[in-house]
């Protein structure tokens, strides 16, 4: 079945439509839903861990959540890109957040640490031989700092949040902490890491550069 025609809008026209009367807003949101759904399905199609039905359901849910956020935060759009590009980034963020939440639904923080499955799992492009050597040396330093300098709670949080990418609310719930307390725990851990990296002649930027 052919898709319904979508009204083409400039950035200003999108913003105006989303602040208009009920019918105008509804029409704009439906057009935006179709645009975002098409783009998000295309973006998710490359993921081998998603079958069609799961991808379709995830995309639908993510777009619905995104539309609520987009309408609430439309006044924060700065106009530095096309409005639909800005909206698409929100939809992608919603989808990836949900994927991470589902990925870690049955994960154990203790098992993650004990197995060592968290430390060292940086996702990045493969460097050349010289880059691999530098990266290996840097990782050895980082692993040693995480293992020996951080408390067990700080290691749990660091591995889950920064290395494995678990959503912060999921980590807070599993660790029995408020988000603010988890932020403080991570802040203290970062200070320890920064101090020890400095002793090794490294900065956080040096470390991150190896994994870009």
Q: Are 90 and 81 in contact (CB under 8 A)?
A: no
Cα 35 to Cα 12: distance, rounded to the nearest angstrom: 17
Question: What is the tally of structural domains in the chain?
Answer: 2
Q: What is the pTM of this model?
A: 0.51
Per-residue pLDDT, averaged over 46-71, amounts to: 79
Per-residue pLDDT, averaged over 41-63, amounts to: 75
The three-class DSSP label of residue 48 is coil
Percent of the chain with pLDDT over 90: 25
The length of the chain in residues reads 212
- Domain-terminating residue out of 103, 134, 156: 103
- Domain-terminating residue out of 103, 131, 156: 103
Q: Are residues 122 and 42 in the same domain?
A: no
pLDDT at 131 over 60: no
Residue 41 lies in domain: 11-103
DSSP 210: T
Cα 144 to Cα 141: distance, rounded to the nearest angstrom: 5
Q: Are residues 185 and 122 in the same domain?
A: yes
pLDDT tens, 11-41?
Answer: 999 999 999 998 999 999 999 999 999 888 8
Q: Are residues 141 and 63 in the same domain?
A: no
DSSP 75: G
Q: Are residues 65 and 146 in the same domain?
A: no
Q: Are residues 113 and 190 in the same domain?
A: yes
Quote the pLDDT of residue 67.
93
Higher pLDDT, 187 or 206: 187
pLDDT at 88 over 80: yes
Q: What is the mean pLDDT of the chain?
A: 78
Q: Are residues 88 and 117 in the same domain?
A: no
Quote the pLDDT of residue 42.
81
Q: Which CATH number is 30's domain given?
A: 1.10.1740
């Amino acid at each position: 079945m052919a898709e319904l025609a979508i009204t083409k809008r400039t950035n200003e026209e999108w913003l105006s439509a989303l602040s208009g009367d009920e019918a105008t807003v509804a029409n704009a949101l439906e057009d935006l839903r179709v645009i975002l759904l098409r783009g998000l399905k295309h973006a998710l199609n490359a993921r081998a861990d998603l079958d069609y039905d799961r991808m379709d359901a995830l995309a639908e849910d993510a777009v619905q959540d995104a539309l609520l956020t987009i309408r609430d935060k439309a006044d924060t759009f700065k106009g530095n890109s096309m409005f639909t590009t800005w909206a698409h980034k929100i939809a992608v963020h919603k989808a990836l957040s949900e994927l991470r939440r589902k990925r870690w639904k049955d994960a154990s923080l203790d098992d993650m640490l004990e197995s060592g499955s968290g430390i060292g799992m940086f996702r990045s492009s493969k460097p050349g031989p010289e880059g691999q050597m530098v990266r290996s040396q840097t990782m050895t330093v980082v692993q040693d700092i995480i293992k020996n300098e951080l408390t067990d709670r700080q290691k749990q949080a660091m591995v889950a949040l920064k290395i494995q990418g678990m959503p912060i609310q999921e980590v807070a719930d599993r660790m029995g902490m408020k988000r603010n307390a988890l932020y403080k725990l991570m802040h203290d851990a970062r200070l320890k890491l920064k101090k020890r990296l400095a002793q090794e002649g490294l900065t956080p930027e040096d470390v991150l550069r190896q994994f870009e």
